[in-house]
Chains A and B, each alone.
Chain A
Amino acid sequence: MSVNNKIAWVHLTSKIRQLIVAVLSVTFGISMYIFMNSFTGGVNDAQAELVFNTMAHIRVYNDLPKEAQRLLPVPEGRDTVQFVSNPKRIRYTEGIKNAGPIRELLESIPDVVAVTEQLNENVFFHNGVSKVSGSLSGIDVESENQMFNTAQYMTEGDLYELERRNDGVVLGTGLADKISAQMGDVISLSTADGILKAYKVVGLIETGASSVDKSRAIISIQAARQLLSKNRSYATDVLANLRNYNDARSQAQRIAVSIPYKTEAWQEGNSQLESANTLRDILAVTVSLTILIVAGFGIYNIMNMTVNEKMREIAILKAMGFDGKDIVQIFLVQSVVIGFMGGVVGLFLGFLISVGVDHIPFKIASLNTLPIAYNPIDYVMALAFGLLTTFVAGYLPARKASQIDPVEILRG
């Protein structure tokens, strides 16, 4: 151990109570940082989970062109003015005629964990005299279930029944209520083109998003193609899920280049969700950083007191031949040790608080306990910020100590 560290160590250990208070202030700051960020992370994830029950991270569909097609070439020269009255944006093709290659393309991207196709259409549901409009989703049962865990939300019946029979339909619980249909009932659907077909209710589903449950019915994608007289590879949406939903925007941009359809990340249609997530993150970081800075002031105060108390010792150390750098080192080492000890204890305490909160019952929507996310990055950042704060808080008094003029003190 170098002589500077030895002096720092003696200073630290000669006032145990002061040391403990300083360490605890860092511990508290860091554990709060971890808890706040784990909690917001958990809330964000829970929110995302609710949303991603029915929504994919990336959606490919046939959108209206961005601008109306040019009917006439742009005139050359300045002496011609062109008027085209009432140009319209027209979608010349409907849906995605050949979804297979797009699906294969999405599946070939390493970050994509699930891909599925859907055929969505607005229809009318008839049961006896009740007639309700809603949306019909034709799904590829296997990949849909892999993506959304659809089968998990079935309240009655079996989702896979759709694969087995072409005339099966699964109704959202709210929709079933509206047309007072029950398991086993036969209802009929009518399309915009006026086609009417009967289906048997083989299951009921409740995703938790009531607007969806009140309007959506599910049949197999083959049955949907049949109903709407589309070709074998037709779909309106190709959906993909990524490993991390926050990457959706950048991935969508990258994919968009090689796909002739609109490629949309979830954020685009759900800015309220994204902004809520971001605001929660900002709030958590602000509050926890404030706590850390307060802890920093605590350390600054303690180190300042130590320096003031030890003026004479600092003077004599300088007389003996310790230079300014040595003095800075002696006092900086003390605050860094405090920061490190407080930091490590704070990491454990933060983890324990998070685990404790994770067990507090909270039964709303799909939650059972308060949500907590365990992200290693939160712990790394907490320690980094903690060390940074203590470093700064320790450096200022240390520099002051190094600037003490020994003559003034020793002459008395």
Chain B
Amino acid sequence: MRPALSVNNIVKYFHEPETIQVLKEISFAVQPGEFLALVGKSGSGKSTLLYLLSTMDTDYEGTIDINGTRLTGLKQNELARFRNEHIGFVFQFHYLLPEFSVLDNVMLPALKLGKLSPEQIRTKALELLYKLDIKGHENKKASRISGGQQQRVAIARALINDPAIIMGDEPTGNLDSKNTKVVFDIFRQLARESGQTIVAVTHDDEFAANCDRVIEMVDGKILAG
């Protein structure tokens, strides 16, 4: 089976304040539907790796392929289009647009993609919100709902374009244990039922322990996985 994500010989340097090598010849592949946790101490390079995978950071050596598309060497605008269609992001902070309604926040990436009519997008966004148990808040401003709800809205936003791969940067880092479990279950279900690949950086040992696979990083190298 074609891997959902494959990484080959990634090398990355930070040049400020002095040049250090943060990632040392990293290579691995992730299968479709796999739920992967990236763990490691802070400074181990796991977040740096995730942002390379996210295509937002293009300053590296080696190659990255997602769903058979070679992303290394593409232009910023092409990468933006690719992210829009194929990658969903969930961050530690929800980063919702506070002046928009909950529904608008979820619809934005799909409106940008423009494959469906606004009416269809609306229906789909509502379905997602109901599935994530956010009912009755659709027309509230994003800044007016609770932290757990905001994170679930952010997940709905990440899912609206049916991305092949969902990336999480400590997606539960800011949530209490109850909400952490909710978010984890959602990811679990997405990987199992929709076959979506999930790559999440986490500090949470329990979260990691329940994933399909854990990659542990130490000093810019993969220790186990």
Contact = CB atoms under 8 A, between A and B. Distances in A.
Contacts of B104: 6, 10
A321 B157 CA distance: 12
Interface string A1-39: 001001100110010000000000000000000000000
B80 interface: yes
Contact of B56 (A324, A406, A412): A406
A10 B56 contact: no
Interface in B98-115: 98-100, 104, 108-109, 111-114
Interface in B105-156: 108-109, 111-114
Given A313-B95, A410-B91, A320 B76 contact: no
Contacts of A352: none
B95 A321 contact: no
A317 B100 CA distance: 13
B84 A6 contact: no
A11 B99 CA distance: 7
B117 to A, nearest CB: 13
B108 A320 contact: yes
Contacts of B51: 407, 410-411
A323 interface: yes
A325 interface: yes
Contacts of B56: 318-319, 405-407, 410
A392 to B, nearest CB: 24
B197 interface: no
Contact of B57 (A3, A316, A407, A412): A407
B169 A318 contact: no
B200 to A, nearest CB: 15
Contact of B112 (A10, A321, A407, A410): A321
A362 interface: no
Interface string A190-214: 0000000000000000000000000
A316 B83 contact: no
B44 to A, nearest CB: 14
A321 B111 contact: no
Given A10-B100, A319-B56, A324 B85 contact: no
B81 A321 contact: yes
Nearest to A3: B111
A322 B97 CA distance: 14
B83 A320 contact: yes
B100 A319 contact: no
Contacts of B89: 316, 319-320
A103 interface: no
B99 A14 contact: yes
B95 A322 contact: no
A405 B89 CA distance: 16
Of B51, B80, B85, B91, the most chain A CB neighbours within 10 A belong to: B80
Contacts of A326: 80, 112
A11 B109 CA distance: 17
Contacts of B77: 323-325
A4 to B, nearest CB: 8
Contacts of A3: 108, 111-112, 114
Contacts of B100: 10
B99 A321 contact: no
Contacts of B172: none
Nearest to B59: A407
A312 interface: yes
A10 B98 CA distance: 10
Interface string B45-59: 001000100101100
A321 to B, nearest CB: 2
Of A312, A321, A322, A326, the most chain B CB neighbours within 10 A belong to: A321
Interface in B2-47: 47
A320 B84 contact: yes
A411 B81 CA distance: 21
Contacts of B54: 319, 407
Of A14, A318, A319, A323, the most chain B CB neighbours within 10 A belong to: A319
Contacts of B84: 320-322
Contacts of B112: 3, 320-322, 326
B95 A6 contact: no
A296 to B, nearest CB: 26
Nearest to B167: A319
Given A3-B111, A3-B112, A411-B51, A321 B80 contact: yes
A384 B95 CA distance: 39
Contacts of B97: 7, 10, 313, 316-317
Contacts of B82: 321
Contacts of A412: 92-93
Nearest to A13: B99
Nearest to B95: A316
A224 to B, nearest CB: 82
Interface string A370-412: 0000000000000000000000000000000000011100111
Given A14-B99, A320-B84, 14 more contacts: A3-B112, A6-B104, A10-B100, A313-B97, A315-B95, A321-B81, A321-B82, A324-B77, A326-B112, A406-B56, A410-B51, A410-B56, A410-B91, A411-B47
Interface of A: 3, 6-7, 10-11, 14, 312-313, 315-326, 405-407, 410-412
For the complex of A and B, the 6 pairs showing the least CB-CB separation, nearest first, are A321-B84, A323-B80, A3-B111, A14-B99, A316-B95, A323-B77
Interface of B: 47, 51, 54, 56-57, 76-77, 80-85, 89, 91-93, 95, 97-100, 104, 108-109, 111-114, 157, 169
19 contacts: A3-B112, A3-B114, A7-B97, A10-B100, A316-B91, A317-B108, A318-B80, A319-B56, A320-B84, A320-B108, A320-B109, A320-B112, A321-B81, A321-B82, A326-B80, A407-B57, A410-B56, A410-B91, A410-B169
